Structure formats: structure tokens, C-alpha cells
Amino acid sequence: MEKKLLVEDHIRRNKRLTVVVCTFMALLFFCIIFAVAYIFFAGNILIGLVFALPIAIVYVAITYSFSVQTVLSAAKARPANPNVREEKLLIHRVEEMSIAAGLPMPKVYVQESEYINAFATGKKPEKSVICTTTGALRKLNQEELEGVIAHEMSHIKNHDILIATVTLGVVGAIALVAEILFWSMLWGGGGRGRRNDGNAILMILAILLVILAPIFARLTYLAISRKREYLADSSGAYLTRNPNGLAKALEKIKADHPKTKPKGSKTVAPLYISNPFKSQNISSVWSTHPPVDERIKRLRSM
Amino acid sequence: MWWIIVILLVIIVVLFLLIYVGYYNKIIRMENRIDNSWAQIDVQLRRRAELIPNLMETVKGYMKHEKEVLENVTKARSALMSAKSPQENIDADNMLTGALKSLFAVAENYPDLKANQNFLNLQDELTNTENKIAYSRQHFNDSVLSFNNTIETFPGMWFAKRMGKKTREMLQIPDAAREVPQVKF
């Protein structure tokens, strides 16, 4: 019962956090567009507002409604093919875990990659997607695969996926705008503002904001992301009643170093079961996931 | 002074009604979840029973000397088809699980059969339904546990009594099902 309470609290906090993060992201995005418009139109606040407000609102709305497709295409994922035995078995394991969790069946996707990895995405538990790499299908046995799927199913059940998916969409957009701005400044854009000396400080502030925004956006997300991994590990073990499956899978992931570079965009990294772009055991503010050794240790002691 | 008492009484009654409505809905929802997870188990049991004749058809040609193993599977299947109560269903299913385990163990001795695409497919399907049954059983028991906890603890027990709700039975897994089935050659 204690455990159940913990999860229910977590879900409640997650829903609240989703609203907070979405609002925060919308605000941040608004500030950035405002800053961009401000720089381009020589410090005219009104024009900045006229530009920023509708773009920010429309953009956040679009990111929200297309977030799942965005994540899937960034990962270059395709629907699992039930005619291939490996992928059929994956569909079977997902079916089983959705029954164990008492959730509707998620869509099953596959990503071509040598790496062992998996992620879940979606806006609500009733409409979610679970995706694994082909490397995971080839290198993990069914017990380990089950552990991985249970971990992803727990992210869905704990309402972790909406917040992650939406945040990633907005973070990606912020990075894009920051990049556009960077290049246009190199080309000498925004030079007309020079006759307005009094606005120089505001201008610097605007530029600073553009630089800091993506960092803040990312840190907000990372701070909440690591705690979730431990919880998803333990609720996954609760679903399968077999913490060893996931522990063994994590050990395999740790020992597995393919030669090829991981495919797909870096923005998807926090969604994965373990981050493919970083070495595994360095823990810092930038890590999306807790160190693998610590996760294995906790699973083994269950 | 009397109006303060009236207001206090009204607040208490309203508060009580709100809590009652909350618990009423919670208990009904939990009960529905139990019924729904039983329906899930039932669907999977039927699916499993439907797969068996196909399996027998495929296996028959290869396993000529394993009459007993094949008979056990057929017997367990008909027990499953005629089972009425949830516990009867589960018992028959456990029997079937044991019988199938022996069958697949014996199949290891028939390389031709193991290479048969149809057999491989059926084996995957049967493993899938077996796991699904195990997990829906787990979900059923989880649902029963949280229902029982709610209606046996204060204040839920108080409302449950008024709603005429009684604790539900969990599904028991008999000791026989936990043993590894014997394989005779």
C-alpha cells in the first residue's frame, strides 16, 4: 500500500508539473520571440509584443498537438512489423505488460539502430507509443525485453511521457530559434538599432536571454527526469515481479558498445531508457539518467 | 446562538454527503475494475482453448509415440471448456499449462517438428496467451486487494456496509501449478 500511495502522489505531482512546465515553456518561448523581434526591430516593444504573442501561442499549441509525431520522426521510428518474428515477440511483450498495468495497448514502433534502447511517448496513457531499437530486439532475451517494456509501461502509467514529450518539442524549437538568431547576428542583422543608445542594456539583456533560455529549458527538464527513472525502474519491477529482467538488460546495455554512432536527433535522448549519447557512469546536472550501476544495484536489492 | 449550531450541522451534513459520494464512486469504480480484469482473463482463456486444436493438428503427424502427453492436453482443454466458476477456470488452465509444458519439452526430441513454421508460431502464440493469463491474474488480484483494503479499513468499511458490499476472493494458485511437470520419455 505504501508503494501505491507513492505512485499516486507521483502521478498527481506529475500532472501538476506538466501544467507548470508547459506554462513555463510557453512563457520562455514568448520571451525569446520577443527578444528576437526586439533585436530585429530596433528595440520597439510594441512590435515585439505584436510578433511574439501570437507566434508563441500558436507554436506551443502546434508543438503540443504534433509532439508525438515529432518525437517519432526525430527518432526515425517505424511501426513494428508482426510478420517478423522478433518484432512480433516485441508486440507480444507489450500486450502482456499493458495487461499487467491495466492500460490500453500502446502502439509499437521500432527504430533501426545497433544500440540497445527503448522509449515511450504520447500525450496520455490511453494513446501512447512504445518504441525499441532493433539492437534491443536482437541482443536482449525475452526476460530482459520484458523488463525494459515494463519500465516504459511504468513511464506511461506514471504520466511521465506527456511532460517529457512536450518539453522536448519546445526545447527543440527554442534551440532552433536561438540558432537562427545566432546566424543572422553573424550576418550583421539587427544593426539598425545602433542609434538608440538608451536601449543598449535592454538589447544585451535580450541577447543574454536568447543564450540562456535553452540552458534553462533543459535544466528544468533534467532535474525532474532523473528521479522518474528510479521510480519507473521500481514500478516496472512491480509489474513483472522480476527486477532481475531489467537489471540484466541494463548490464547488457552497459557492456554494449557498437561501433556506429547512434542515429536520430539528440533531443530524444532523455526519453530513452538509457542515454545513448553519453558515457554511462558520469553523473552531473546534465545527465538525463541516473548512473546505470546505481540503478542495477537498486534493482538487485529489491 | 442557535443559528451557529444550525450552520455547523449543515456543514457537517454536506461534508458527510461529499465524502459518501466520493467513497461510493471509488468503491463502484474498484468493483468494475475487478469485473473488467476477470473479463480479460476469460478472453485469454478462450483464446488459449481455441489455439489447442490447431496445435494438436500440427503436432499429430510428428509425435506418434507420445499419446499420453497429447491426451493430457486434450483432457485439460475440455476441462477448461466446461469450467464454470473463476476458480474452476483457473484450475483447468493450470492443468493445461502443465500439460503444454510437457508437450513442448517432449517436442525438443523432434527436430523436424521444431523446424515447422506453424509449430513455432503456435508456440509463440501460446506463450503469449499464457503470459497474458498470468498478468491478468496478477492484475485481478491487485484489483481485489485494493478493493478489499478500501472496504475493510476505516472509513471505507462504514460506507461499504451501507452499500452492501462484501470482500472479494483472490484467485489462488494451487501448489501443483508451481511444480515443474514431469516429463516421461
Considering CB atoms only, which of B132, B138, B139 is closest to A95? B132
pLDDT attached to residue B185: 43
Average pLDDT over residues B103-119: 87
CB contact under 8 A, A97 and B135: yes
Cα gap B39→B91, rounded to integer Å: 17
**Chain B partners within 8 Å of A95 (Cβ):** 128, 132
Question: Which domains does chain A show, CATH number per domain?
Answer: 2-74+164-222 (no CATH), 77-161+223-300 (3.30.2010.10)
pLDDT attached to residue B64: 76
pLDDT tens readout for residues A99-127: 999 899 999 999 998 888 898 988 888 88
pLDDT attached to residue A198: 47
pLDDT tens readout for residues A189-227: 444 444 454 456 666 666 776 677 667 666 666 666 777
pLDDT attached to residue B184: 42
pLDDT tens readout for residues A161-177: 877 777 666 666 666 66
**Chain A partners within 8 Å of B120 (Cβ):** 85
Give the number of A-B residue pairs with CB atoms closer than 8 Å.
33
CB contact under 8 A, B40 and A99: yes
pLDDT tens readout for residues B26-81: 999 999 999 988 888 889 998 988 999 988 888 888 887 778 888 899 999 999 88
Average pLDDT over residues A15-22: 76
* CATH-assigned architecture of domain B26-178: Up-down Bundle (1.20)
Contact indicator for B66, B106 with CB cutoff of 8 Å: yes
Q: How many CB atoms lie within 10 A of CB A123?
A: 16
* Residues in a beta bridge with A118: A132
pLDDT attached to residue B107: 87
Closest CA of chain B from A221, distance in Å:
32
Helix (H, G, I), strand (E, B) or coil at A70: helix
pLDDT attached to residue A42: 64
Q: How many CB atoms lie within 10 A of CB A78?
A: 12
Domain ranges for chain B, please list them.
26-178
Q: Does B47 touch chain A (CB under 8 A)?
A: no
> What distances in angstroms separate CA B65 from CA B59, B60, B62, one per listed residue?
11, 10, 9
A8 is catalytic: no
Average pLDDT over residues A39-68: 73
DSSP code string of B39-95: HHHHHHHHHHHHHHHHHHHHHHTT-SS-HHHHHHHHHHHHHHHH--SHHHHHHHHHH
Closest CA of chain A from B147, distance in Å:
12
Chain A residue with CA closest to B117: the answer is A85
The number of angstroms, rounded, from the C-alpha of A234 to the middle of its chain's C-alpha atoms is 20
pLDDT attached to residue A293: 84
CB contact under 8 A, B128 and A92: yes
Cα gap B153→B161, rounded to integer Å: 11
CB contact under 8 A, A96 and B132: yes
CB contact under 8 A, A102 and B139: yes
Among A87, A114, A146, A152, which one carries the catalytic annotation? Answer: A152
Considering CB atoms only, which of A1, A92, A97 is closest to B124? A92
Choose the weakest-confidence range: A13-17, A97-101, A233-237: A13-17
**Residue A132, φ and ψ in degrees, nearest 5:** -125, 160
Average pLDDT, chain A: 77
Closest CA of chain B from A67, distance in Å:
31
Whether A52 has a pLDDT exceeding 50, the answer reads yes
